[in-house]
Amino acid sequence: MDWSAVTAEDLVDALREVDWSTPPRPVPEFFSRFTVPRSYSKWTSRLKCNLYYYRTNYFILIMFILGMGFLWKPVAILAAFMTGISIAFLNDSFAVTFNEKVTRTVRQFSPHLAAKMRPPITPVLRGRPSSKRSIHICGRPRWLFVLLFSAVSCILWLTSCSLLTVSWALLIALLATLLHASFRTPNLKARLNTFREEFRAVWRNYSEL
């Protein structure tokens, strides 16, 4: 797959729609081989490839570094959790899975309430949905929960007085991710046809290519 043709917007859209339940890549593979990119185009292509292929590893790495920073600010742990949930709701797969699990749990206690938590039916015009299916959580638009959890996390960040400490930890985590994605040589697995098809399946405008 020609990663140089993949734009940053395409990569962000793919990361939003891809299934994040994939287990992380093995540690020996994650730290196996590093080389300096020979040109700017090869660097950007390698960066986008690694960010997508090792997405779970980078998420764990960022959470670990942030966790080390949280040891001095326990209240910030809850704030980071709320922030992480609000960001996770932006991922379609996570939002749909979370909604299904909550609805299934509520149905065991109150089927009537679970019925109200179902998302509204998308109108159909000429046999096709009138627009892209919007994501709902507990019967409400997804953005409502994103705003709610974001507001709570902002309040916790301000009250914990640990924003500076966590900001440094986040900066170090992002820098470590950028350095690894820039110098980790893409292996053969990242170029296999199954991986290529996985990305193209969620690539924006894939049906038009």
pLDDT block averages, 10 residues each, the chain of length 209 = 68 70 82 87 86 87 81 75 84 83 83 73 51 71 88 81 75 92 76 53 52
**Residue 198: other Cβ atoms inside 10 A:** 17
Which one, of 136, 157, 16, lies nearest residue 83 by Cα?
157
Domain boundaries, the chain: 74-119+135-161
How confident is the model at residue 20, as a pLDDT? 64
How confident is the model at residue 176, as a pLDDT? 93
Which one, of 61, 44, 56, 66, lies nearest residue 93 by Cα?
56
How confident is the model at residue 99, as a pLDDT? 84
How confident is the model at residue 12, as a pLDDT? 74
DSSP state of 119: P
What torsion do the CA atoms of 58, 60, 66, 71 make, to the nearest 10 degrees?
Answer: -160
**Residue 30: other Cβ atoms inside 10 A:** 16
